[in-house]
Amino acid sequence: MFDSNRQMLIVEKYEKLINYLYPILQSIPRTHGVAKNLVLTDLLIVPSMMMIAGKTGQVSKLYLIDAQLATVRYWMRFLVVRKCMTKHQDVHQVK
């Protein structure tokens, strides 16, 4: 089973990541709107997946969360490589 304190710590750390990335992603120009919407959707679905995994106690749900986080990392790389983010955003991205 999951330790609820550890689960909440993970959620809190992810919340910090969202608070950091959300304004950056929202300022991406409209010309890249499809990619921006996809990465925001993928980024914002993770906390509910964490809550479901914690409530059900199913370790297999952690694999789904890991795959979702890999998708978020993919989209962040995509946005940087395609120069969808400004120079300032690129410099301050999470490495």
> What total of structural domains would you count in the chain?
1
Closest CA to 79 of 19, 17, 21: 21
Lookup: tokens for 73: 């990392």
Asked whether the beta carbons of 92 and 24 are under 8 A apart, the reply is: yes
Cβ atoms within 10 Å, residue 46: 20
Tell me: the pLDDT tens digits for 27-61?
Answer: 888 889 899 999 999 999 999 998 888 888 888 88
Residue type, 63: Y
- The average confidence (pLDDT) of the chain is 84
What percentage of residues in the chain have a pLDDT greater than 70? Answer: 81
Lowest average pLDDT, out of 1-5, 40-44, 64-68, goes to: 1-5
Parent domain of 10? 4-91
Tell me the CA end-to-end span of the chain in Å, nearest whole number. Answer: 31
Most confident of 13-17, 59-63, 81-85: 13-17
Give pLDDT, residue 1.
Answer: 46
Q: What is the CATH number of the domain that holds 17?
A: 1.20.1440.60
